[in-house]
Structure 1
Amino acid sequence: MQNKYFYILVFCFFTVSLVAQTKLSKVNKVNPNNRSDTTSLTNRSKGFKELATIDMYLQFNNALDTISVDTTLTIKKDYKLNYLQKDNFNLMPFANIGQTYNTLSFNSWDENTSPLFGARARHFNYLEHKDIMSYEVPTPWTRLTYKTAFEQGQLLDAFFTVNLSKQFNFSIAYKGLRSLGNYQNALTSSGNFRFVTNYKTKNEKYQAKGYVVMQDLLNQENGGLKEEDLDNFTSGNEEFLDRSVFDPVFENAENILKGKRFFLEHSYGILHDTDSLSNNTIRLVNKISLEDKYYQYKQTASATDVFGDAFTNSIRDKVKLENFKTSLGLNYINNVIGDISFAVNYTDVNYGYNSIVLFPETTITNRIKSNFFGVEGAYSKTYKGFNITGKGGLNLSDTFVGSYLDATLNWQFNEDIAFSGGIALNSRLANYNHLLYQSDYINYNWYNLDRFQNVNTQQLKLNMKSQKWFNAVLDLSNIDNYTYFNLEETIDGVKKIEPKQYNKPLQYLRIKLQKEFRVGNFALDNTLMYQNVVSDEEVLNVPAFISRNTLYYSNQLFKKSMTLQTGVTFNYFSEYNMNGYDPLLAEFYTQNETKLGGFPRLDFFINAKVRQTRIFFKAEHFNSSFTGYDYFSAPNNPYRDFTIRFGLVWDFFL
């Protein structure tokens, strides 16, 4: 890791020099009454000669797909106005905003060839590389997203981007949350800062994208309700409808995940040859990524016997990861052959703790360190309505053995119907906290790097999209050496959570259907998922059915100056052995003692759009008092009661 600070200085110097070389151009305003989703907004700044319309405000994801900014009001916007700002169809939120989510369906495949950092329950709002967008805008664009929280708090995401010239853009944003919650010791506080910049020369020979992301996510933890209080909750006892009167399992713990990541990707065109038959382009591409993060669990007043015996009465567990990766490769584009990329990469990882734990019969080491080379590549080609894409990677390491391959074929059958299908293969080590963990609690110490085998996943995926008929997604996965946290009970009756590896194959089927029906101004949006797991033991538990159905009315009022949307959303998932939550690990674990689910969740909403402002009003879980108090997000962790919340998304185009 000796060179990491050198790369940080290079990154900062690169960003500062671009700003110094670029001047902000004047922007002439037009009549603001002409603003809409289709009409011109303002004159474009220097380099943008036409009048600006909403489709000129562009976003680019990690795959460099172009996405136009969308300020319309649709039912999908209602689904996304939450803490994650994503559709959380397959997630079950905890009682307070900013807490974790129980996962109702399992994403079996990823393209990582190395282990992931642990504390996955804290990572739902942790921005990964794929979540960072870059932008190109004709005029400055600001977006404010706000939503109320629970008891003394709010969520605010403030974003701003501007093109200082046609070639140079930067954006800066911060999402902050603080919410006290309705239960004791359930405060959440998080912040996500991001700065993104992209630059290209006028002839586009040199192109660069870089960003800095700094994040901290803190949760107070209370262990959920005590066993003796579950009856008081489920019975609807009026004395306990004020949730603050519950005494949780403990009231002196908190965990926090902090991380910062620096990334730079730049390329230079060493060949650009265009003629009437072919287009040959060769670019030299370099990527640099450095991420430092840590997870800490603290219990300062006194240890609890929930996790067993402890070495000390004051618990302070802290684990760090330093992950540096760089790659150098070539990208060749030819309109006959296609788009081909190949690169060699180098990775340096340092994960662990500051001390070694000694037991009478074993020693728990404190570090997993490695550096290794790897290769990666990608290919894409479009021909007569067919598009084939593929990408893969391989670690050249004896310890961090890993590889992945993802191949997809897309077919545009007609203007309405599109099909896609493919296969995905992945082999990598289990996450770091499965391999090595240390804690002041005696039961939470293990080292499995030399015992656990690679998790191997093979997935077949099919997809259909059609506005006229329906949207469908099917994936069938086979998983070998599935690794998970399991609940066991020790001889003295203490419940113990520890990593396990299932050494037999398991199969996992998932089918998701979505269709919206419209009659006049009324619509019924339906999403249904069916899941099935085939294995000799119950090591992967998911509900058989998940359903979301929204009946709503939408119309344009006041001479089409306002769009109104109102309706009811019904959420349901079938009863199953729901995963439990361990606040010490910040992980979910498999348990087969308690079945939960089978309860409805009804939300009433009124949404409106006036010019570039979208307003959201929602009565969440309004059926809680008359359909039974049996709603839980995890064993001993109740879901939210009825509450009324307000939110808005406000766009400014200057």
Structure 2
Amino acid sequence: MQMKNLFLLFLFVTFSVVAQKNTKNVIDQDTSKVVKAPIDLYKIYTLHKDTTYVDTSLTIQSEYKYNLLRKDIFGLMPFANEGHTYNSLDFGLYTKSAAPNFGFKAKHFNYLEVDDINYYSVPTPLTDLYFKTVMEQGQALDAFLTVNTKPNLNFSIAYRGLRSLGKYVNNLTSSGNFRFTTSYFTNDKRYILNAHFTGQDISNQENGGIVNAEEFETSEDPFNERERIEVYFTNATSLLKGNRFFIDQSFKLNKTNPNSLVFTHQFNQEYKFFQFTQPTISERFGDTYTNNISTKTRYNHLYNKFGVAYKTKSYGDLEFFIDDNNYNYYYNSVVYDALGNITVPNAVSDRINMVGGNYSYLINNVNVRLHASQSISDQSISNIEATANYKVNEDYNFQFKYQKLNSLPNLNFTLYQSGYVDYNWFNNFKNEKLNQFEFSAQTKWLNVSATYKVINDHLFFDNQTNDITELMVKPVQYDKTINYLSVKANKEIKFWKLALDNTILYQSVDQSDNVVNVPQIVTRNTLYFTDFVFKKAMLLQTGVTFQYFSKYYANDYNPLLGEFYVQNETKIGGFPMFDFFVNARVKQTRIFLKAEHFNSAWTGYDFYSAPNYPYRDFMVRFGLVWNFFK
């Protein structure tokens, strides 16, 4: 993996330089002079047609997004090794769709879904290279190249590779995310196509966490060398792998009239599997059927959506659609009871058909979007969403969103098989119900957002033994109502060349039992200095980031299931995390240097990402983001 990443880096740099050798600039048609293409011509847009532009600036957001996921991870608590998993501090990040998903959510943070794929339009070839050192023996690389061969035809290719040995025994991470996209439209823009292919594999050695917390919390010799700390598993491995082919296309019936019928189609075909292997069985998961654990859960998904929309210039756009969702979730075996009856089948297969409509209307500075869908097959699922956005001016923007969702359980709640006896089940749970209200306001004084969720028939994983050393984790459905409230505020205060960026999250849960556990307070505060140096040839940014979350009963991680489960025995949190960083920008290159968690030895070794998974010790990491385009 390490040599592969270096080879890909060399390949992308070489190809980018060659591709741009004669296309660095564009021709001004009026003066016939060669000029640089403006930055706003390098467009990035989502499947929902939200458009942004390539950003090579160095801001505090650049610092927050400089991580494996390439996004701000406020509300996520990373594990000790890069690319392992994240514990969710912000329950507001929890999302659900009406149709059932594959499950194994703890392994999907680094898995790119359909909505994570962007599409591009660029006047000249654009390359983006991300590189970052890791914990030990490896690196993280994300190499991307996009080019318009014609003004109406774009291609992009990218690969994200990671290898990190980690500091603890049996903690190696190795992953690869390949993606290829293409975008096309006819000259009259009657036909528009966006398509992509992804091939992804995420492999983690799973050590089950540390056995004796005292060894870590004292951190005396020899346990200050983390590979000396005893872990539960020394040869367990998990692997999530998937391939997806996706098409989104539309055809406008009338060539010239702005009021016209538009036919739309989406196609999604995906195959993936989650595999857990453990040559040496562990008593921690209970009795076994075999002496060698190898569980492979497979998933085939075929989705088609057909729609007809009427787009108008004055009254908005109205669309009606019907979709066909066909999936097969399966194993290669069945489980029998003592009488020879099948208690756990090998597969869950179903076909879901839904009809629905979308309406969007933009007038002046008000944007309204409505969505409603309902199943017409045997399953009783539905989704209603309403969004209103009001932009007063560049300084003031307000948004309100409501969602009512009736959804099927994720498939690993319904069916799971394993060589461990207690990890075999076949359930028939009720649908989960959600009513959610969201409000956000972006002003020049303060950015604030609030979320209120009312949840019924909530599904979660629970440890039946209430003992962290013995894991009998099973899916459970909560038959009472859960009320969740969160308020998040952000404000950056600038004075001279100094700035203080503050983000704070408050959460509260009203429930009869401790099912949804969250920290009441999560905060991140960054004090930093920015200025030009070396005769303005370099922009320098340096500062300190403080992060903290209050103590709470955090969900623990079960590697056999690739899921987090609820526990109410051990609290984590209440420890400060300080990072010192020095970042710089030279032309289109941004350089990052960070001393992560530099206070770890001063404030005590009581820092955890999950009850028996320590957070990262102090380490220094560096890297860069490098763009080629002119």
TM-score range, shorter chain: over 0.9
TM-score of the aligned structures, taking structure 1 as reference length: 0.90
Aligned residues of 2:529 and 2:543 also touching (Cα < 8 A) = yes
Q: Separation in 1 of the partners of 2:435 and 2:93?
A: 9
Deviations 1:539-574 (CA, angstroms, capped at 9, x unpaired): 010000000000000011223221100000000000
Task: Decide which of 47, 55, 65 is 1:80's aligned counterpart.
Answer: 65
In structure 1, the partner of 2:275 is: 296
Aligned residues of 1:109 and 1:426 also touching (Cα < 8 A) = no
Q: Separation in 2 of the partners of 1:282 and 1:355?
A: 49
Aligned residues of 2:387 and 2:399 also touching (Cα < 8 A) = yes
Query: Which shifted more, 542-551 or 401-410?
Result: 401-410
Task: Decide which of 240, 245, 252 is 1:262's aligned counterpart.
Answer: 245
Instruction: Give, in angstroms, the shift of residue 331 of structure 1.
Output: 2.1
What letter matches 2:309 in structure 1?
N
Q: Separation in 2 of the partners of 1:395 and 1:106?
A: 28
Q: Separation in 1 of the partners of 2:205 and 2:69?
A: 19
Aligned positions of 1:391-402 closer than 5 A: 391-398=371-378, 400-402=379-381
Aligned positions of 1:488-527 closer than 5 A: 488-489=464-465, 494-527=470-503
In structure 1, the partner of 2:161 is: 176
Q: Separation in 2 of the partners of 1:85 and 1:427?
A: 32
Task: Decide which of 362, 365, 383 is 1:382's aligned counterpart.
Answer: 362
| Change beyond 3 A, Cα 1:213–1:491 | closer
Q: Give the 3-state SS of the residue equivalent to 1:495 in structure 2.
A: coil
Aligned residues of 2:20 and 2:124 also touching (Cα < 8 A) = no
Q: Separation in 1 of the partners of 2:116 and 2:156?
A: 14
Say if 2:419 is the partner of 1:443.
no
What letter matches 2:450 in structure 1?
L
Aligned residues of 1:44 and 1:52 also touching (Cα < 8 A) = no
| Change beyond 3 A, Cα 1:128–1:492 | closer
In structure 1, the partner of 2:512 is: 536
Say if 2:309 is the partner of 1:326.
no
Instruction: Give, in angstroms, the shift of residue 272 of structure 1.
Output: 4.0
Deviations 1:270-312 (CA, angstroms, capped at 9, x unpaired): 12444xxxx3032111111101000000002x21000000000
| Change beyond 3 A, Cα 1:493–1:104 | closer
Aligned residues of 1:110 and 1:426 also touching (Cα < 8 A) = no
**What are structure 2's unaligned runs of at least 5 residues?**
1-17
| Change beyond 3 A, Cα 1:608–1:496 | same
What letter matches 2:594 in structure 1?
K
Deviations 1:329-384 (CA, angstroms, capped at 9, x unpaired): 11221122101222111111101211110123761111111123211321111123
In structure 2, the partner of 1:134 is: 119
Q: Separation in 1 of the partners of 2:310 and 2:615?
A: 52
Q: Separation in 2 of the partners of 1:598 and 1:111?
A: 30
In structure 1, the partner of 2:536 is: 560
In structure 2, the partner of 1:192 is: 177
In structure 2, the partner of 1:52 is: 37
Aligned residues of 1:282 and 1:330 also touching (Cα < 8 A) = yes
In structure 1, the partner of 2:291 is: 313
| Change beyond 3 A, Cα 1:163–1:49 | farther
What letter matches 1:599 in structure 2?
F
In structure 2, the partner of 1:337 is: 315
Q: Give the 3-state SS of the residue equivalent to 2:594 in structure 1.
A: strand
Instruction: Give, in angstroms, the shift of residue 118 of structure 1.
Output: 1.6
Q: Separation in 1 of the partners of 2:219 and 2:555?
A: 24
Aligned positions of 1:1-80 closer than 5 A: 28=22, 42-43=26-27, 51-80=36-65
Instruction: Give, in angstroms, the shift of residue 524 of structure 1.
Output: 0.2
Task: Decide which of 204, 210, 213 is 1:230's aligned counterpart.
Answer: 213
Instruction: Give, in angstroms, the shift of residue 49 of structure 1.
Output: 9.9
Q: Separation in 1 of the partners of 2:58 and 2:353?
A: 47
In structure 2, the partner of 1:424 is: 403
**What are structure 1's unaligned runs of at least 5 residues?**
1-23, 31-40
Deviations 1:589-643 (CA, angstroms, capped at 9, x unpaired): 0000001100000000000000000000000000000000000011111000000
Q: Separation in 1 of the partners of 2:23 and 2:113?
A: 37
Say if 2:201 is the partner of 1:216.
yes
In structure 1, the partner of 2:332 is: 354
Task: Decide which of 457, 463, 472 is 2:440's aligned counterpart.
Answer: 463
| Change beyond 3 A, Cα 1:111–1:579 | closer
| Change beyond 3 A, Cα 1:623–1:356 | same
Q: Give the 3-state SS of the residue equivalent to 2:599 in structure 1.
A: coil
Deviations 1:407-461 (CA, angstroms, capped at 9, x unpaired): 0111123431111112111111111111111110000011112xx1000000011
Instruction: Give, in angstroms, the shift of residue 63 of structure 1.
Output: 0.7
Q: What is the aligned-residue identity percentage?
A: 44
Say if 2:614 is the partner of 1:644.
no
In structure 1, the partner of 2:521 is: 545
Q: Separation in 2 of the partners of 1:304 and 1:50?
A: 66
Task: Decide which of 84, 87, 107 is 2:92's aligned counterpart.
Answer: 107
In structure 2, the partner of 1:476 is: 452
What letter matches 1:254 in structure 2?
T
Q: Separation in 2 of the partners of 1:183 and 1:56?
A: 46
Deviations 1:141-189 (CA, angstroms, capped at 9, x unpaired): 1111000011101000010000000010000000000000000000000
Aligned residues of 1:44 and 1:138 also touching (Cα < 8 A) = no
Aligned residues of 1:269 and 1:283 also touching (Cα < 8 A) = yes
Q: Separation in 1 of the partners of 2:145 and 2:70?
A: 17
| Change beyond 3 A, Cα 1:310–1:459 | same
Q: Separation in 1 of the partners of 2:38 and 2:246?
A: 31
Instruction: Give, in angstroms, the shift of residue 492 of structure 1.
Output: 14
Aligned residues of 2:386 and 2:403 also touching (Cα < 8 A) = yes
Q: Give the 3-state SS of the residue equivalent to 1:608 in structure 2.
A: strand
Q: Separation in 2 of the partners of 1:68 and 1:108?
A: 25
Aligned residues of 2:580 and 2:596 also touching (Cα < 8 A) = yes
Say if 2:146 is the partner of 1:167.
no
Q: Separation in 2 of the partners of 1:51 and 1:613?
A: 18
In structure 2, the partner of 1:18 is: none
In structure 2, the partner of 1:251 is: 234
| Change beyond 3 A, Cα 1:155–1:549 | same
Q: Separation in 1 of the partners of 2:311 and 2:484?
A: 38
Instruction: Give, in angstroms, the shift of residue 28 of structure 1.
Output: 4.7
| Change beyond 3 A, Cα 1:531–1:493 | closer
In structure 2, the partner of 1:17 is: none
Q: Separation in 1 of the partners of 2:380 and 2:295?
A: 28
What letter matches 2:97 in structure 1?
N
Query: Which shifted more, 363-372 or 433-442?
Result: 363-372
Aligned residues of 1:109 and 1:459 also touching (Cα < 8 A) = no
Say if 2:389 is the partner of 1:410.
yes
What letter matches 1:461 in structure 2?
E
What letter matches 1:440 in structure 2?
G
Task: Decide which of 354, 357, 364 is 2:344's aligned counterpart.
Answer: 364
Aligned residues of 2:152 and 2:186 also touching (Cα < 8 A) = yes
Aligned residues of 1:27 and 1:44 also touching (Cα < 8 A) = no
Q: Separation in 2 of the partners of 1:602 and 1:242?
A: 21
TM-score of the aligned structures, taking structure 2 as reference length: 0.94
Instruction: Give, in angstroms, the shift of residue 51 of structure 1.
Output: 4.4
Q: Give the 3-state SS of the residue equivalent to 1:424 in structure 2.
A: strand
Q: Separation in 1 of the partners of 2:190 and 2:586?
A: 42
Q: Separation in 2 of the partners of 1:200 and 1:491?
A: 58
The aligned length equals 608
Query: Which shifted more, 616-625 or 263-272?
Result: 263-272
Aligned residues of 2:26 and 2:35 also touching (Cα < 8 A) = no
Aligned residues of 1:272 and 1:282 also touching (Cα < 8 A) = no
Q: Give the 3-state SS of the residue equivalent to 1:164 in structure 2.
A: strand
Q: Separation in 2 of the partners of 1:375 and 1:120?
A: 28
Q: Separation in 2 of the partners of 1:320 and 1:181?
A: 29
